[in-house]
Amino acid sequence: MQDLNQNIREVPEAVNTIEDRDLYKTYFNDDQYYIEKFEKYRNGKRFSFNIWPFLFGLYWFLYRKMNLEAFIIYVVYLVGGFILYFRVFTPISSSRFYILPIVLFFNLILGYLGNYLYLRKAERQIKNYKDRYSNNTEKLLQLSLYKKGGSSVNGVIIGYLISSAITVIIIAVLFLQLF
């Protein structure tokens, strides 16, 4: 109980009556960029470009605690890579010159979808938490959203280690097939 009270004090202060805007501020950990994007999202501008998912792809999604979306992106990368390598290009061809534009195009799509998926997830989670914690205190609702939202470097590290291990296994299997 002591930890809960300690964590409740760490939550940014909100107005006595919880408004949706205050819940989003808590979920986004007072990140002004996403609060502004949320306002535009609520006013109908669903898509906007975000440079970070464009540059970092699935790792940005892991950083934003969007694990399911990151997993789907990883599977698409993996399947797309296999299709390109084994069906479209031969290993001897100059396929490496065609892969870069394909990856850039895919990352461009991620750049435009990143904010949309993040804001949509925030909207869904806030609605679920409002329903779940409707009979509890405002501080408990805020604490739950504060922990659920924001970002996490741990997800990036774990995702990197898992994707690296899978890559090593794939390379080992392909290498063994050559001999």
> Alpha-carbon distance 145 to 133, whole Å?
11
Q: Which domain holds residue 153?
A: 2-178
Chain segment 103-132, per-residue pLDDT in tens: 899 999 999 999 999 999 988 888 888 877
pLDDT at 148 over 50: yes
In the chain, how many domains are there? Answer: 1
Give the chain's largest Cα–Cα span: 69
Q: Is the pLDDT of residue 93 over 60?
A: no
Q: How high does pLDDT run on average in the chain?
A: 80
158-162, Cβ contacts within 8 angstroms, sequence gap of 24 or more: 158/62, 159/58, 159/59, 159/62, 159/70, 159/74, 160/59
**How many whole angstroms separate alpha carbon 51 and alpha carbon 31?**
16
